[in-house]
Structure 1
């Protein structure tokens, strides 16, 4: 079996290694050049699903590099009042996630993870822009914009949220705009900045700032040294990512055309009466590292008939970042498809088995991600007040905390 994979992202490269380890002929076609062409990226938290997929799919050398590049990431989620500190802490550092050598939670930059996946990935064809595919009598043919083509038994679209493969395979499956705009920035965690920040903002946990009014801020820290973020180090070994999310209707007209300086000033104005530490994070951010991203998501995935073309990752279930599971779901796709294709039998039937399982867990992830985004940014003033009250109460009442967040470790 020859498998053509369109896109050298995290999911596509993980699938490549998994299939080649099993003896299948897998080839990746990526529109970008080998060096350059990748935008500066943020870090991701690798959860148990993502880590298990990487471990089971990758050769030992690639896995060891990921293990070395990742840093422990405590699954601690905090909710802050903008002026009065922590409203609630949710500690989900369960023993199996803290000690298992495979699934212990890690933080890693996307750039470092991608570099680890590119080790020994000698069947990636660079600067090959996919144009369209056609079903032939013996399989599928991929056509590229340079006039060349490649033939295979199966084609996998791993080409991201604007997937051309999806556009042809499932033309009616389109992303939805949620009416939410995310303004995000990243700043080196220099000794001077770290000195004015409380420890909970810099320990790798997930921090959410919940004002009484509209809007929501997210903050977390990551290690530097990412090949895509070399400009960030400034002598610091970590950087801090923040994001201000709010309903699009709360922004000025024309915000999509704002440069980094105007976006930074917009957020600065909105946090002008917040705690000094939170204002310091925004203030220390280089405007060049501030961007605005509209939040979009796929609708619930419907059923469709399987064929010799399938999809994985953002190409099929692009979701908001508000649950932190998009990349892990893509890695899970790669592993699930690997298992289906290496189990023997008819390839199209294997694709159907993969798609059935994928739709089930992807729809759960889409629902959670969308719910988190809309609850954080589109809630009414009364709803926001109730949520803040429940956070305070849940911080002291274990029964209520379990109702809101599921199993957690006891406080203290």
Structure 2
């Protein structure tokens, strides 16, 4: 399921355009499913976010973002502790002011929901939609058998398991399981003292079953506050990171214990990230990807469309997914604002433009993941995510 911040960013655009809306949220609260790595925001992503937020909310958002420069980008051999690559922040990782800008998923979600709280219905799972007989409206169908009120348009943003996307595209939209897995984790700032400020890659190539790596960034201004937690994400090639009984919904100590086991032979300056981690926030994640050949075309439905991971799931390589998702929200919001709400041809116009940048982003993410994760997708034979 895609990060809820995406649905809330779309809502901000509608709220500012004074277009009525309702959010159907699978989670039960803002604190539910709080695990997750910080999101890196590109220049395009920040521009898209700024375009959908009012000035006051934008200022709150921007002040909540961490801006990392420091040592730039440094890659270490995770076992020996030796630097294997050191350079300024690459252009692909920087966004504004030659710095990497990022924000915690939970913080982003709460900020995007400001002013929209009364329009969220919690704890409902959308399993499809129905169109009115005369084509004048659409309504969501929920897992408990209920149905929403009729509306003029439905935007499916419920992630890689999107039933809306499956129904809309008649199965053409596919998400492939790359087989690679990872673990998210967090630890208080003293655990990162061995790194300093910057963007870091810790890579372990010593294993016989495949490489393991960790990505993290350490922000200025927070290093000396022992109450601040920094996040990291650990990834492994297919078969290296395995959850008990292949249950990747497990969070907490089981995920933390596996992260510690995978890094027990790492250099002493890196081990505190895992030995001192907040076990409660540890979580597994699958690395999935949409069709690398591009986003397919389907018969347009004027009143239904999809955004984010529901239409273009990406690997975490390069941090492209979240930035492409907010571009969807900004583009769709712009078209709705200009039209004053629904109009015929709007979803077709959105999908035509989205397919171009979305397909390019999926391909870029996949190519980067081939090197980092050792993944390989054959669209004819690879397993898809149900």
How high is the TM-score relative to the length of structure 2? 0.81
Within the candidate set 372, 376, 379, 2:372 is matched to 376
User: 1:219 Cα deviation (Å)?
Assistant: 2.6
The 8 Å contact of residues 216 and 246 in structure 1, kept in 2 or not, is answered as yes
CA-to-aligned-CA distance 1:33-68 (integer Å, 9 cap, x gap) = 345433323211122111111111111221111012
User: 1:246 Cα deviation (Å)?
Assistant: 2.1
User: 1:241 Cα deviation (Å)?
Assistant: 1.2
- Greater fraction helix: 1
Within the candidate set 119, 139, 142, 2:140 is matched to 142
The residue that corresponds to 2:62 in the other structure is 67
The residue that corresponds to 2:52 in the other structure is 57
Structure 1 residues 306 and 77: CA distance shift in structure 2, 3 A: farther
The 8 Å contact of residues 128 and 146 in structure 1, kept in 2 or not, is answered as no
Aligned length: 356
Within the candidate set 246, 249, 257, 1:256 is matched to 246
1:307-346 equivalences under 5 Å are 307=301, 308-344=303-339
Structure 1 residues 281 and 23: CA distance shift in structure 2, 3 A: closer
After superposition, the CA RMSD in angstroms is 3.3
User: 1:105 Cα deviation (Å)?
Assistant: 4.5
User: 1:362 Cα deviation (Å)?
Assistant: 1.4
Distance in 1 of aligned mates of 2:34 and 2:265: 33
Q: Per the alignment, in what secondary structure is the counterpart of residue 293 of structure 1? A: strand
The 8 Å contact of residues 188 and 230 in structure 2, kept in 1 or not, is answered as yes
Distance in 1 of aligned mates of 2:37 and 2:305: 28
The residue that corresponds to 1:155 in the other structure is 154
1:238-249 equivalences under 5 Å are 238-248=229-239
Within the candidate set 277, 282, 288, 2:274 is matched to 282
User: 1:304 Cα deviation (Å)?
Assistant: 1.8
CA-to-aligned-CA distance 1:54-107 (integer Å, 9 cap, x gap) = 11111122111101211213394332223152211242466x94449xxx7422
How high is the TM-score relative to the length of structure 1? 0.76
Distance in 1 of aligned mates of 2:331 and 2:111: 20
Distance in 1 of aligned mates of 2:242 and 2:59: 47
The residue that corresponds to 2:112 in the other structure is 117
Are positions 1:291 and 2:288 aligned together? no
The 8 Å contact of residues 187 and 281 in structure 1, kept in 2 or not, is answered as yes
Distance in 1 of aligned mates of 2:282 and 2:18: 44
Are positions 1:47 and 2:47 aligned together? no
Q: Per the alignment, in what secondary structure is the counterpart of residue 342 of structure 1? A: helix
Structure 1 residues 266 and 16: CA distance shift in structure 2, 3 A: closer
The 8 Å contact of residues 305 and 352 in structure 1, kept in 2 or not, is answered as no
Higher-Rg structure is 1
Q: Per the alignment, in what secondary structure is the counterpart of residue 33 of structure 2? A: coil
User: 1:210 Cα deviation (Å)?
Assistant: 4.8
Are positions 1:133 and 2:133 aligned together? no
Structure 1 residues 262 and 238: CA distance shift in structure 2, 3 A: closer
Q: Per the alignment, in what secondary structure is the counterpart of residue 149 of structure 2? A: strand
User: 1:208 Cα deviation (Å)?
Assistant: 4.0
Structure 1 residues 117 and 222: CA distance shift in structure 2, 3 A: farther
